[in-house]
Amino acid sequence: MKVFQVEGDWTMDNVRLATRPDPTPGRGQVRVAMRAAALNYRDLLVPLRGYGQRMKALPLIMLSDGAGVVDAVGPEVTRFRVGDRVCPMFFQRWSSGAPDPQKFALSLGSETDGTMAEYMVLSEDGVAPVPEHMSDVEAATLSTAALTAWRALVSEGRIKAGDCVLVQGTGGVALFAIQIAKLLGARVIATSSSDEKLERVRSLGADETINYVANPEWGRRARELSGGDGVDHVVELGGEGTLPQSLRAVRTGGTISMIGVLSGGTMNASLGQVVTRHVRLQGITVGNRDDFEAMSRAMAQHALRPCIDREFAFEDLVAALDYLRSGRHFGKIAIRF
């Protein structure tokens, strides 16, 4: 089978097309014939060994998102049959419940091989059915970015109709967060440095938009747009550079879901506000299989479709990574097998 892997040394130049023997499922395992994959920001860090010593020894097959069809099952498999469409789960050991070190110990494309392979053999507990209304490419975008947004807003955030949600930027998690918040009846304020992208997020359902370059005190503006008391939930994707404004935007008793640290990973905010205003500051790292299945049901019920920017061929993974790095995309970048 064809694979795209990091081999030889931890550099982007060593992301290469290769071949491996076709795998065979063992007891409790399924083999998935992969049909599509999708990129996330983390895929720019993986070839540089950006997640440290915990990463699998080279060679390492790239990417964590994908979708395919079960084409073989091992003994004692009960959850799936040949022909079922599935997504591999980001965390292979986190099926349900609260996170713990054991459940976080095996993520695709880091501690174990990822989705850029024509076939994957996985535990039947490490895959989940895809929403039936989605194409393979659309389904391939769900298991990292979409699930992160769902975990933040629903499993942990418990937002409800009428809540006000502030979403930073227009990356993959942000766009899914806008769609999920609207699906649940929330009011959405979105930020970006691009007026063009802000116009596009309005088409996804954002109720209000703020250009954070034109409005450096965007936290104050978000508070005004929320009605004066502040927003109920902030999807925090910037980190060091954006958290002070997020604290200004959030209401007393509100929640900030810390998902990304794109503007820096050091705490540089007034922590007194967290305490005196009873703000819940929570970290989010993707989600579990139960979260994914609940999300899939909701997306199917409302016919929600991911925003796809561009598709690349399997052999063009390096070009797709370059495009991701450029930041020109709006929506997910996908690989069609």
What is the distance between the alpha carbons of residues 285 and 145, in angstroms, rounded to a whole number?
Answer: 10
Determine the pLDDT at residue 241: 86
pLDDT at 181: 98
Residue 321 tokens, joined:
């990574």
**Full-prediction pTM beyond 0.85?**
yes
Per-residue pLDDT of the chain (337 residues; tens, 9 = 90+): 999 999 999 999 999 999 999 999 999 999 999 999 999 999 999 999 999 999 999 999 999 999 999 999 999 999 999 999 999 999 999 999 999 999 999 999 999 999 999 999 999 999 999 999 999 999 999 999 999 999 999 999 999 999 999 999 999 999 999 999 999 999 999 999 999 999 999 999 999 999 999 999 999 999 999 999 999 999 999 888 899 999 999 999 999 999 977 656 676 777 888 888 999 999 999 999 999 999 999 999 999 999 999 999 999 999 999 999 999 999 999 999 9
The CATH number fitting domain 2-141+306-336, selected from 3.40.50.970, 3.90.180.10, 1.10.240.10, 3.40.50.720: 3.90.180.10
Query: Which residues are CB-contacts of 45 (< 8 A; sequence separation ≥ 6)?
Result: 51
Domain(s) labelled CATH 3.40.50.720 in the chain stretch across: 146-283
What is the residue-wise DSSP string for 270-298? -HHHHHHTT-EEEE-----HHHHHHHHHH
- Give the distance, in angstroms, between the CA of residue 10 and the centroid of all CA atoms in the same chain: 24
Contact 162, 187 (CB under 8 A): yes
Q: Are 113 and 64 in contact (CB under 8 A)?
A: no
The length of the chain, given as a count of residues: 337
- Residue 244 to residues 59, 63, 168, 170, 269: CA-CA distances in angstroms? 41, 32, 13, 20, 5
Closest CA to 246 of 310, 93, 238, 186: 238
Q: Is 162 left (phi over 0), alpha (psi -120 to 50) or beta?
A: left
Name the segment(s) of the chain with CATH classification 3.90.180.10: 2-141+306-336
Residue 87 DSSP symbol: E
The CA–CA distances, whole Å, from 94 to 80, 169, 212, 252, 298 equal 18, 28, 37, 32, 21
pLDDT for 318: 98
CA distance 18 to 58: 13
Beta partners for residue 6, in sequence order = 15, 60
Considering Cα of 316, then 196, then 191, then 244, what sign does the dihedral take? positive
Which two three-digit tokens encode residue 149?
Answer: 């947004």
Q: Which of 293, 49, 43, 265 is nearest to 154 (CA)?
A: 293
Of the options 3.40.50.300, 3.40.640.10, 2.40.30.270, 3.40.50.720, the CATH number for the domain spanning 146-283: 3.40.50.720
Q: 121-130: b or e for each residue (b if 16 or more CB lie within 10 Å)? A: bbbbbbbbbb
